[in-house]
Amino acid sequence: MAGSAPAHAHVKWFATFDVAAEPMPLSQVLTPVFWAALAFAALVLALISLVEDQKLGQWSHHIMNKLSGPFEGRMDDVMRAGTAVFFVCLWVIGGVYLTPELKTTSEWVPWLQFAIACSLFFKVTMPFATIGIFALWGLAVQQYGLFHMLDYPIFLATAVYFTLFACSNPYLREMRMPVLRWGAAITLMWASIEKFAYPHWTTPVLIAKPYLAAGFDADTFMTLAGVVEFGLAFALICSPLARRLGALALAVLFIAAVIPFGKIDAIGHLVIILILVTIIGERRQQDRTIFLTWARTSQLKFAALAGFFLCYYVGHAALFNHNNAGHSIALIGKANAAASAEICTHDHGDEVHGDHDHAHDEHAHDGHDHSDHVHPPGTKPHSH
């Protein structure tokens, strides 16, 4: 995991990229290295689910409670103050909307950023911060396109968070942390797909700083970095222990990336680091979710990965008019079905077995040829 830290620097801030370029075919993405790394990540997440209510899980919560102790009850203040610092930095730098590659020549944008920073210190003015952040995001969409801005739903989640924090309704106010968690998780899971789709974007960075690859070749390094990022991001929407450990690991990775990439990376990732810190400091240990069963967690992780691949590849094909969407859908469907079946063989619950057996029967009798170059865990790859 330490070797993947530099991959958490946003490549679009440091290298040439072309959003409209056709992504790498999935037949080249879903390699044995990909499946092995994904299986290992699923195993780690399953183990966390298994120890959630055991002594080890409770001890882990206790350690993180002690680490976040000085900020107990003040995480909202940390989020407000840190985000204000972020927008002041943008105001001082000038010429960007929300991140370093989103350039603008507008003279009033920095003053809007300064006004957003000021509005975060008073509950009554926080809705203005929400409107301002949405406005900056929308202006960036107008200039750079929707697909580019799908990298940054975290800013929309942050904007909604501030309005929910200022809300007097206790139920709505309680929703502010789930909004932040889901915003961070979706942002990072989407970013991980970019690592699979465009690994060559990072090649110039790895050539300039070869030590960042930790001894791996560029393709293997980017595959591992993508799997690590997706797995940790998915953990943010799982059980309390999984999301706190996932947030801790991600925070370490993002902070470590500042060392080789400097203040641009520090400012650009400040908001997500703040969100990760608030997740680490969140103490709700009794939040029981559908993700707690290890088999269900693994199944949902594979389904989420398939869903993000589907949205990324099909959405890109639709917006930029290239022709690999149909093949991508077929590959994703077959890979996800095979991976789910693999997980199902280790789950002794009758209900889960029944559901997947039925799905397997439908898949086996749909009249299509199922031989393809997709190798889920536990299968032997075909020779190429």
**Residue type, position 134, single letter:** F
Indicate the helix (H) or strand (E) that contains 155.
Answer: helix 153-166
pLDDT reported for residue 40 = 92
Write down the domain spans for the chain.
35-44+51-289, 297-364
pLDDT reported for residue 135 = 97
Helix pair angle (325-344, 350-364), 10° resolution: 140
Nearest to 184 by CA among 156, 225, 224: 156
107 near 95, Cβ under 8 Å?
A: no
209: which residues sit within 8 A by CB, 6+ positions away?
6, 260
Query: Can you tell me whether residue 249 is helix, strand or coil?
Result: helix
pLDDT reported for residue 65 = 82
Cα Dmax for the chain: 64
Residue linked to tokens 């995001």: 137
pLDDT reported for residue 341 = 52
**Residue type, position 229, single letter:** E
Residue linked to tokens 């580019």: 148
Query: Can you tell me whether residue 103 is helix, strand or coil?
Result: strand
Nearest to 20 by CA among 198, 192, 195, 188: 198
**Residue type, position 305, single letter:** L
384 near 371, Cβ under 8 Å?
A: no
- For Cα atoms 105, 108, 112, give the angle at the middle one, nearest 5 degrees: 120
What does each of the 384 residues of the chain score in pLDDT, given as a tens digit?
444 554 455 667 766 777 888 888 888 999 999 999 999 998 888 888 888 778 888 888 888 888 777 777 788 999 999 999 999 999 999 999 999 889 999 999 999 999 999 999 999 999 999 999 999 999 999 999 999 999 999 999 999 999 999 998 989 999 999 999 999 999 999 999 999 998 888 887 888 777 777 778 888 899 999 999 999 999 999 888 889 999 999 999 999 988 888 888 889 999 999 999 999 888 765 555 545 455 566 677 888 888 898 998 988 888 887 665 555 455 555 555 554 554 454 454 444 344 444 444 444 444 444 444 444 444 434 333
State whether the Cα torsion 194-196-200-204 is positive or negative: positive
Distance CA 291, CA 234 (A): 10
pLDDT reported for residue 10 = 63
- If phi over 0 gives left and psi between -120 and 50 gives alpha, with beta otherwise, what is residue 378? left
Tokens of 33: 């290295």
Distance CA 202, CA 337 (A): 31
Indicate the helix (H) or strand (E) that contains 312.
Answer: helix 294-320
Distance CA 133, CA 112 (A): 9
- Give the CA-trace dihedral at 125, 130, 135, 137, to 10 degrees: 150
371 near 382, Cβ under 8 Å?
A: yes
pLDDT reported for residue 289 = 52
pLDDT reported for residue 284 = 65
Distance CA 44, CA 325 (A): 32
Tokens of 340: 């789910």
pLDDT reported for residue 241 = 87
The string over 91-111, giving b where at least 16 C-beta atoms fall within 10 Å of a residue's C-beta and e elsewhere, is beeeebbbbbbbebeeeebbe
pLDDT reported for residue 334 = 53
Distance CA 195, CA 193 (A): 5
108 near 139, Cβ under 8 Å?
A: no
